[in-house]
Amino acid sequence: MFSFPRYLAAKKSVDDRALNGHVWHKLWEELPASSRQRPLSILEIGAGTGSMIQRILDTHHLSHALYTAIDADPDNIAVLEGQLQGWAEARPHFIVMAQAIDLYDFLPRNQERYDLLIAHAVLDLLPLAETLPALLGLLQPNGLFYFTLNFDGVTAFQPPTPLGEAFDDEVERVYHRTMDERHTNGRRSGDSRTGRHLLPLLRQCGAEITAVGGSDWVVCPPYPHDEAYFLSHILHFFDQSLSHHPDLPADQFAQWLAARRAQLASGDLIYLAHQLDVLGKVAADNN
């Protein structure tokens, strides 16, 4: 039985290693100071169980903030809400407001404009060209966006399986194609090269990019924390996406999946995914 909230918790240590340090530090250089009189207004879309909130709190960079966290999954928000009291006791002027709501329901209802918009490991699940202008429109003039872990077209497992590297590569290619062809609620909702496509789209929207850097996931044995579970869930995603895919022989894919799970069980599986972090700001006349 797979748990998505547990997957999110398990990937926190993977994300911590992956997040680009240059882009992260540039964020804190660019953010205006916060105070009791002027708390920063922050929105995170696809906030999951609150790992980015915890990461920000751990830096002690922000003393006063109004942080709105939205996620479409009520189970994720339930886990996040379970942490609110502890966060409030530790940082009483860092106020977190969580809501279980789909982004496309949130956008037309929202009347706020924010100093900072965060999208962590979520833009590659959206129709980017359609959605990006609306997301940037959520920001105040000169507001910042911090878009992290944007998948950019490379997945790799090692060592090779007994089926051979050619079949291993084909599995990865077809998996990427399922991202490009995915539809959610009638919308095309994915792009296996979101990272590289995001950069020119931001410029077309009139945004200024101030920092970019790689943020690759790399998971090697021995697996720290709960990262073996993280890898098992990655394989579960492959299982869900490809088990009945017409471009892969079912028996061979079943062998591939069994081989990868055996490599994980024996502590031999290595996993890499290429991603990009992007920081920037909207123009003063964005709104």
Kindly state the helix (H) or strand (E) to which residue 25 belongs, with its residue range. Answer: helix 21-30
CA distance 174 to 245: 9
Are the CB atoms for 163 and 237 separated by under 8 Å?
Answer: no
Predicted confidence at residue 230, as pLDDT, reads 98
Task: Answer whether residue 189 shows pLDDT above 80.
Answer: no
Q: How confident is the model at residue 286 (pLDDT cuts 50, 70, 90)?
A: low
Domain extents in the chain: 4-154+186-218+274-281
Predicted confidence at residue 240, as pLDDT, reads 95
SS3 285: coil
- The per-residue pLDDT for range 153-174, each reduced to its tens digit, is 999 999 999 999 999 999 999 9
Domain 4-154+186-218+274-281 sits in which CATH superfamily?
Vaccinia Virus protein VP39 (3.40.50.150)
Task: Answer whether residue 187 shows pLDDT above 80.
Answer: no
Over 176-239, what HEC string results?
HHHHHHCEECCEECCCCCHHHHHHHHHHHCCCEEEEEEECCEEECCCCCCCHHHHHHHHHHHHH
Predicted confidence at residue 79, as pLDDT, reads 96
Spatial neighbors of 243 by CB under 8 A, at least 6 apart, are 250, 253, 254, 257
Q: How confident is the model at residue 190 (pLDDT cuts 50, 70, 90)?
A: confident
Task: Answer whether residue 8 shows pLDDT above 70.
Answer: yes
Are the CB atoms for 209 and 202 separated by under 8 Å?
Answer: yes
Q: How confident is the model at residue 284 (pLDDT cuts 50, 70, 90)?
A: confident
Task: Answer whether residue 2 shows pLDDT above 90.
Answer: no
Task: Answer whether residue 185 shows pLDDT above 90.
Answer: no
Mean of per-residue pLDDT scores for the chain? 95
Owner of token pair 């949130």: 106
Question: 91, 84, 26: which is closest to 57 by C-alpha?
Answer: 91
pTM for the whole structure: 0.95
In this structure, which amino acid lies at residue 74?
P
**Average pLDDT for 253-271:** 98
- The per-residue pLDDT for range 35-71, each reduced to its tens digit, is 888 999 999 999 999 999 999 999 988 989 999 999 9
